[in-house]
Structure 1
Amino acid sequence: MTDTLTPVLTDDWDAAQSWKLATYESRGGYGALKKALGMAQDDIITAVKDSGLRGRGGAGFPTGMKWSFIPQDNPKPKYLVVNADESEPGTCKDIPLMMASPHTLVEGVAISSYAIRANKAFIYIRGEVLHVIRRVQAAVAEAYLAGHLGKNIHGSGYDLDVVVHAGAGAYICGEETALLEGLEGRRGQPRLRPPFPAVAGLYASPTVINNVESIASVPSIIANGADWFGSMGTEKSKGFGIFSLSGHVANPGQYEAPLGITLRQLIELAGGIRSGHELKFWTPGGSSTPLLTAEHLDVPLDFEGVGEAGSMLGTRALQIFDETTCVVRAVLRWTEFYKHESCGKCTPCREGTWWLTQTLARLENGQGSAEDLDLLVDQCENILGRSFCALGDGATSPITSSIQYFREEYLAHLEHGGCPLDPMASTAFATEGASA
């Protein structure tokens, strides 16, 4: 089974002081940058296109194609922005990557910036992870001293400045245009599109925004070639990715494997579901993706396979829940998160998430009626596709999918006067039944 793992981004994680420049360079680090500086910039974009690399931040848009949208005849400066505002519940891949091997990201930033003709790059990191911010700042400082960043990099005539920016702790800033608002010093709220960031992004200039893992994958593509990257994964979802397994597995953690691996294989690698229990439901891409069940264990974890199963691959945040978990309570907790993190700009999300939590809370407490399930679905339909950004859509995903697969569990809450998995609620129900 271990043959299914493809340690590329995670290959250095077990090295002594893996975050240091000396360690990274001793294992071939920054060799790809030197190679890239000797290539035509359009050839780098073509290589990334040919590799089939798709955005690793959730949407899965082809990375090379996004780079090619930058209008090179625009006289304004070009910018690269790295979205390191990893805040999706269950997602934990970018933060350990930046902690264990920040120079992989820094090298990717340098190559990507060179390819799109940007002389300024920003790494936007969520403000709560101060230890990560400091580590990336230290790596950037090391790279400047070694000549990998700054003026006339390695005698190529190319200049690049990199800024590590600490966000203000808002989930909404993971949305790319809200992130740009935060970078410009304003409240993080999504922008109306068009214009799109490629045309008018940061400071109204052409801007590429990519996830940490997307940019960190670029050095290996330049070093090993597009065909090497494309030889892994599936036909339409090429390459490798970091899968974050959390929850009720024996060994939770990050597993780097080709896209198309199944959850069954990953659970086996993780030592199986915790002893004495069985899988009940799981999320393929964090809490904003429709949940799946044990019947989907063999679905290929690529963009197409998960999509056909009715969900989204997203950030590959695989949250695993066994039969001891109340699906209604889990969905309520996620919905409370989205209500709290809504920026309030648009009515469907601001008001809709509030009403969703009210209805869910009644059901979780065994109050209300069966009609509330139809009310929930109606509320979700009025939010879906009508909010400014994907936060509203994401808030509806766990609700509609949980009603699809676990409608009887919702109804059981009404029958029991609370959660049937809660011993106190079950005891109260049994006592009332005996009295009757």
Structure 2
Amino acid sequence: MHEKSLDLLRRIALGEDSSLELKVLEFSGNRIAESHRSGVADELAAMANTVKGTMVLGVDGRTRKILGIPFEKLDIAEDWVRSLCNDAITPPLDCVIRKLFLEDDGGEEKAVLCIDVPKSLFVHKSPNGYFRRIGSSKREMPPDALARLFQQRSQARLIRFDEQTVPHTDLQDLSPVLWNRFRTVLSPKEDQEFLEKMKLIAPDEDGGIRATVSGVLMVCDSPEKFMPSAFIQAVCYRGNERTAAAQLDARDIVGPLDVQIREACNFVERNMRVYATKAPNRIEIPQFSMSAVFEAVVNAVAHRDYSIYGSRIRMHLFSDRLEIFSPGTIPNTMTIESLSERQSSRNELLSSLLARCPLNVNAAGSRREFIMDRRGEGVPIIIVESERLSGRKPEYRLIDDAELKLTLFAAKSPHGDVDGLIS
């Protein structure tokens, strides 16, 4: 049997999940009687609105048995799928439809249709509304989630969120000390003209001058006053478990983003262990590469989705790992697998401002002059530096298509759990 068919059988054996849907297909003459057209369209659109996925027609989702599709009906089934992708989903969904043979429990080969659904650039509406995939089921998207998805995928070509104005702000809420960091000899002399050119302020729909999201985050002393979720929650735990009783240190890190980056790195450096060996020469071994920690924090701050109300960056330090949770899915059409190879930014203006902020923290080993690197070197540094120190590759995981989790593994003590500890 072909390797791809074997891989699909293994997935089917585990059952449905966020990226796999199984459907029975029954016929009445040349007409498909089961599954229902609208239901299949809803499931396909939900996958496209969430993550890429696969639907297999001819498999019972409850029992996971390979029932197959009559060989002479395969073309009818393929036309049916192509029709609902074009006519029942708006905008039309571009899927790859494959005909495969899979072996049933008795070793008999049965024909099935395998529909590969890409992660779409658009938000798709199906017969019963707008859906997204959560686990093995579809859920109708509430208005706030739908609005975020439209913004993320730029279907409506909305202004970037980091350039939008923030209500109830004005020029007096921004700090001259902070904005003057971005001045050059070519900058306009008049403050308002300079701030407008930098997109740190902009007129709102009523003509009033307001700070933009980037203006609040970069040149306001207290961004959390206007954007309550714009902070980093940092917690250090004793041991490997996330329990309140095991908390050793906790802090809500606020202020302009460059300050948040500095203080988050200081939090890790202050709370992590540093081991020392004495022979033949004294060598200090930190639990984490501060260069990798710095890049991880910068990426979280620069690329998180600031439009998600109530979601902050979470940074949790354990004895064996550091976890960083960043609100929002991966920008644009990137995947977990392509993070180290491709470069993309959700917040272009914010990234450009961070690229003009001088490095203000101990990022041991970094040759960086400014906080943000525009060449896409951050993720490779995280991977190489962490793996070099701990022997384990960092792990990225997307949680419910709403939060990106990065795990950096700690270096082990050369003397056991605590021997040789110097801080």
Q: TM-score range with shorter-chain normalisation?
A: under 0.3
Structure (1/2) with the larger helix percentage: 1
The alignment's TM-score, normalised by the length of structure 1, stands at: 0.25
- TM value normalised by structure 2: 0.26
Structure in which a larger fraction of residues adopt strand: 2
Say which structure, 1 or 2, has more relative contact order (CA 8 Å, 6+ apart).
1
